[in-house]
Amino acid sequence: MVDSTRPSPLMKILIVDDMKSIRRLVSELLKPLGAIIYEAENGQDAIDQIINMEFDVVLMDIEMPIINGLTALKQLRDIHGFKHLPVIMMTGLTDESLVSKAFNEGAYDYVRKPIHAEELLARVHAVFERKRVDREMYFAKKQAEQSNKAKSEFVSHMAHELNTPLNAIYGYAQLLELDGDLNNNQMEFVKDIIQAAKLQKQLIEDSLDLAKIEAGIIDITMTELSLYESLKEAFTLTQPIADKHGINIQRPKRSDTDIYIEADKKRLTQVLLNLISNAIKYNKPDGEINIRISSLPGKRVRIGIEDTGIGIAEDKLPQMFEAFNRLGAEDSNVEGNGIGLSITKRMVEGMHGTLDVESVYEKGSTFWVELNQVIH
């Protein structure tokens, strides 16, 4: 037995049939649904009503004068733009090809004549149920979007409020740094203030990025990019840091990087910078970094960033991409806040890619990114 739970009283049904007796019969059978019933006696009349009023479902006979059901359906879909209006065809014909043609023209479902109450109620109720679910999903999505927007606005506001006094601290510290009357100890204190201000500012910016990513509002525009050019930009920006730390970056062959990938230019640059910078920071003195490029099945490209650093203990690898988790590095002199890798992973996944790591403690780590390759 069909659950005849009454839908919203605003639900509207249009019954289209050239026989008044059929329209009245169908109207009576649909009463348990509690919907508002409208009638049309041919396809043209139906089109005119549909254009001027929003219906939740249309029950339309195939064989009618002036404009038959199939022609009316085709016009509704192709000419008038009603692509998603559920239209259930009614037919007493036994020609299966007509049913197939109706589906080809965009019919949602069909019922056969003579009409049986259970079948009719079941098919119309299914449309109402789907609309109810779609409506609930729509409002749930809107609520989530509003919540995410509010969260993003709050975080942005807090970031601004935190940055305002921080910028003042940083500015005054810079002024003190220029003061020629400070002794060595005082100058060291000023440098510590400046360094702490820089780290705090980075923490605020990273926290804001993480909040935006978690809220699903990070902008990612996928485009075709040259891997060679992307790596070249990353190397240009990280080479001075590597030189400062005495780290040798072994770059891949030009021939290995002459390929194109699908990614967001800004986000890919951020990903490469973060991974190469980490490989520098967590490396050993006079260490080495190898960048390896390899093609994988399924038109994928792997960018491997291999370092000769301190490595990561096997039991800590599962926590590698947790936000604010530095895996014990907080006790070292390596700067950081533990957010970078979490943000990087989300960015890679937003570009339909994969980020993972392999590591051997005291021997080094390899972080690798997989992205889709563009084949010309």
Please name each of the domains of the chain with its CATH number.
12-115 (3.40.50.2300), 143-214 (1.10.287), 223-374 (3.30.565.10)
- Bridge-partner residues for 61, per DSSP? 90
List the alpha helices (DSSP H) in the chain: 20-29, 43-52, 69-78, 96-104, 117-177, 184-214, 227-245, 254-257, 265-281, 340-350
* pLDDT attached to residue 332: 47
The sign of the CA dihedral 25, 28, 33, 36 is positive
Quick check: 120 and 26 in contact, CB under 8 A?
Answer: yes
CA dist 59 and 110 (Å) reads 8
What contacts 148, CB < 8 A, 6 or more positions away? 215, 216, 217
**pLDDT level of residue 42 (50, 70, 90 thresholds):** very high
CA dist 272 and 230 (Å) reads 8
* pLDDT attached to residue 85: 93
Q: Is the pLDDT of residue 215 over 70?
A: no
Specify the 3-state DSSP secondary structure of 219.
Answer: coil
Specify the 3-state DSSP secondary structure of 258.
Answer: coil
**How many CB atoms are closer than 10 A to CB 12?**
16
> What values do phi and psi take at 355, rounded to 5?
-125, 130
Each residue of 55-97: pLDDT tens digit? 999 999 999 988 999 999 999 999 988 999 999 999 887 777 7
Q: Is the pLDDT of residue 43 over 70?
A: yes
Each residue of 271-315: pLDDT tens digit? 999 899 989 988 998 899 999 999 999 899 999 999 999 888 888
Q: Give the largest CA-CA distance in the chain.
A: 103
CA dist 88 and 189 (Å) reads 79
Q: What is the mean pLDDT of residues 191-202?
A: 79
Specify the 3-state DSSP secondary structure of 304.
Answer: strand
Quick check: 173 and 194 in contact, CB under 8 A?
Answer: yes
